[in-house]
């Protein structure tokens, strides 16, 4: 399948490609992408079943990695700086270890090569309980979600997945059924023990996030022996949203050193 993407600038020799997390989209990278485009090519990609990319019944990490590699080929991009947050970080890990010729360097944002508890389960149950086609205003969808989901920040995040339909109401833009079906797989690690990427790598982890801890560093270093660990101050799991300028600068610095 041909993935949707946003291009933030293509007047430079080097390229940075950014991958979003679960229920995110390329739009999550707009601010950082604009900053990166001053000095390099920058692209943000919608992974399958997200954003404006095609939907599919299958959704494994191998599927998503192959999608991105095919997209890189279609754009004639090689030797890229690959950046991935959360689920996108796991996709980036798999691409770097399985297709190292495609990756110049790697930035992983707040995720480790391990299995996690399916932390989006409550959010998915809320999304399945609400039919957005019943509403013509985003705030009304958000209010309907409140009956099933207490976290207001999560509700605000979920409604970024709305798209207006021809009737003037909304649909979920993500392939909710397929993602929900694969949630257990998406919460697991995509890595085999023998998978390694020896190229320059950095892991940006949020100071206030519980997704990455020092206990994870050994496993990260096993798969990425040259990895450097950078704590993002005053940031939770969404480091690229909580501290956009800090993260953009770290990506640029990491890129310039290669």
Q: pLDDT by residue (tens digit) across 152-191?
A: 999 999 999 999 999 889 999 999 999 999 999 999 999 9
Is residue 110 within 8 Å of 205, Cβ to Cβ?
yes
Pull the structure tokens for residue 254: 């990491």
pLDDT for residue 185: 95
Domain that holds residue 35: 5-116+189-256
Residue where a domain stops, chosen among 133, 159, 183: 183
Residues 110, 129: one domain?
Answer: no
Domain total in the chain: 2
Average pLDDT score, the chain: 95
Residues 125, 101: one domain?
Answer: no
The model carries a pTM of 0.96
Tokens 């110049």 map to which residue? Answer: 104
Closest CA to 44 of 21, 55, 28, 59: 28
Q: How far is CA 22 from CA 80, 143, 223, in A?
A: 22, 22, 22
Residues 228, 106: one domain?
Answer: yes
């Amino acid at each position: 399948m041909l993935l949707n993407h946003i291009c933030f600038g293509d007047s430079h020799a080097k390229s940075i490609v950014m991958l979003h997390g679960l229920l995110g989209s390329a739009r999550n990278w707009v601010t950082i992408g604009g900053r990166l485009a001053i000095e390099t090519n920058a692209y943000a990609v919608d992974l399958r079943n997200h954003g404006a990319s095609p939907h599919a019944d299958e959704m494994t990490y191998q599927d998503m990695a192959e999608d991105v590699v095919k997209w890189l080929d279609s754009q004639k991009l090689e030797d890229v700086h690959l950046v991935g947050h959360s689920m996108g970080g796991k996709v980036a890990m798999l691409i770097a270890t399985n297709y190292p010729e495609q990756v110049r360097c790697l930035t992983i944002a707040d995720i480790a090569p391990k299995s996690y508890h399916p932390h989006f389960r409550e959010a998915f149950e809320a999304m399945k309980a609400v039919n957005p086609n019943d509403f013509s205003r985003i705030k009304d969808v958000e209010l309907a979600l409140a009956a099933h989901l207490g976290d207001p920040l999560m509700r605000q995040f979920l409604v970024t997945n709305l798209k207006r339909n021809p009737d003037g109401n909304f649909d979920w833009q993500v392939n909710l059924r397929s993602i929900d079906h694969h949630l257990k797989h998406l919460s697991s690690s995509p890595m085999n023990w023998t998978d390694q990427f020896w190229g320059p790598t950095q892991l940006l982890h949020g100071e206030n996030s519980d997704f990455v801890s020092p206990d994870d560093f050994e496993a990260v270093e096993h798969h990425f022996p040259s990895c450097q660990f950078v704590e993002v101050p005053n940031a939770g799991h969404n480091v690229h949203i909580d501290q956009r300028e800090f993260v953009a600068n770290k990506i640029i610095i990491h890129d310039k050193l290669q």
